[in-house]
Amino acid sequence: MYIDEKILGRYELTAIPYEKLEQVYVKVGKLYSEFLIKKEDGNEIRLQRMDKEEARKAIESIRDALNEIAVEPVSIERKKHLMSEE
C-alpha cells in the first residue's frame, strides 16, 4: 500500500506492506474525514481533512486487499454517532 502524505507543502510517498498494518481507523464527519493508519512498529500515518467519500473508498479497498491474503475474512467495525461515523 502506498500513501501520499503532504508535509510542509511537499508530498512524501510511504510504502506499507499489508502484513505490517496493525490498525486502520477512519472517522467520517459532515464535511471531512480523518484517516489513521497504525503500523506494527508503532508509527502512525495521519491524513486529516480527507474527502469523506475518498476515505470510504480507501477503507473498502484496504479491506478487499486484506481479504485476498487473509486466512479469515477481515471485518469493519462501525460506530455511528450523531454527527459522525467511525
Structural element, H or E, at residue 17:
none
Q: State residue 5's pLDDT score.
A: 60
Q: State residue 22's pLDDT score.
A: 83
DSSP labels for 59-86?
Answer: HHHHHHHHHHH-SS-------B-SS-B-
Q: State residue 82's pLDDT score.
A: 67
Chain centre distance of CA 81: 19
Those residues of the chain that have pLDDT short of 50 are none
